[in-house]
């Protein structure tokens, strides 16, 4: 890609000098090549990919924000948070992913310019994302956990797993829209998750940290969340209101799916 091309051009230029300084130029080129090699390769790419996968979500309250406020927050998040991380991914990209990553990079630039998240929803971007995620799972040594979201439960989630990078591969096998929000109990919190769920929402959310989100997705569709898990107590929940069959129109006023039993506790050791 562009950054990789510039790096190669720099190395070629470093090796092109007058006859009098050929040895010095060759040494510089070799040193530059060694430095470039140290910062690229599968490990560097996987580290960069993990950083962008775990960058979090834009700070937007979709329930109260205006369309202009959502767009401005999206622009800021894309330009200031995601763009530097994407540049790191591009710089370390293996050749076979360059085209797919460039498609996603172009979509990110569109979001930074327009604030419209739909740039990530085109068939081309979705196919590119699927290809890069498949490469990550095969190459980066991440644990993959298949999760089926039903009405109203999670199937496939373990009760215990080891710390490290996990990709939760969610498939919506139900008839309603579902999501998997992964929450970690904050250090020092002594209440059980059952006790936390009984608290007012604002108070409960002060005692947990959201570490991953897969979805929301309509019936039959997949989503995933890559999370670097530390040891601790976690809970997967679905906050989607009962009766949500699609993304069309305002959500129904039913209780959240977690109140119907769509909750799973997970211990990471």
Look up residue 57 and give its DSSP letter.
-
Say whether 59 sits in a helix, a strand or coil: coil
Contacts of 256 (CB under 8 A, 6+ apart): 237, 238, 239, 240, 241, 242
pLDDT for residue 78: 95
Give the fold, CATH level 3, of 143-268. Immunoglobulin-like (2.60.40)
Chunked in runs of 10, what are the mean pLDDT values of the chain (269 residues)? 27 31 38 43 92 88 85 94 96 96 97 94 95 96 96 95 96 96 96 92 92 94 95 96 90 91 96
Q: What residues have CB less than 8 Å from 74, skipping those under 6 apart? A: 58, 60, 111, 115, 116, 117
Name the residue ranges covered by the structural domains of the chain.
39-139, 143-268
pLDDT for the residue 41: 67
* Contact (CB, 8 A) for 237 and 258: yes
């Amino acid at each position: 890609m562009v950054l990789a091309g510039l790096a190669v051009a720099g190395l070629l230029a470093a090796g092109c000098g007058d006859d009098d300084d050929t040895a010095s130029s060759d040494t510089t080129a070799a040193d530059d090549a060694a430095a470039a090699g140290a910062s690229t390769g599968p490990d560097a790419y996987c580290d960069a990919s993990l950083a962008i996968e775990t960058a979090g979500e834009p700070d937007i309250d979709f329930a109260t924000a205006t369309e202009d406020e959502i767009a401005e927050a999206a622009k800021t998040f894309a330009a200031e948070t995601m763009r530097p991380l994407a540049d790191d991914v591009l710089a370390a990209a293996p050749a076979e992913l360059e085209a797919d990553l460039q498609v996603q990079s172009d979509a990110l630039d569109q979001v930074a310019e327009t604030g419209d998240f739909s740039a990530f929803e085109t068939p081309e971007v979705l196919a590119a994302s699927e290809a890069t995620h498949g490469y990550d799972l095969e190459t980066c040594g991440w644990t993959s956990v298949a999760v089926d979201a039903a009405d109203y439960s999670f199937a496939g989630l373990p009760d215990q797993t080891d710390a490290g990078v996990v990709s939760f591969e969610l498939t919506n096998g139900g008839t309603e829209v579902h999501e998997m929000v992964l929450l970690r109990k904050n250090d020092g919190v002594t209440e059980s998750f059952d006790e936390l769920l009984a608290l007012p929402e604002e108070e409960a959310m002060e005692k947990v940290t959201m570490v991953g989100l897969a979805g929301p997705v309509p019936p039959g569709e997949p989503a995933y969340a890559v999370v670097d898990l530390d040891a601790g107590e976690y809970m997967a929940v679905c906050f989607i209101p009962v009766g949500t069959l699609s993304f069309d129109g305002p959500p129904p006023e039913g209780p959240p799916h977690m109140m119907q039993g769509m909750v799973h506790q997970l211990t990471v050791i």
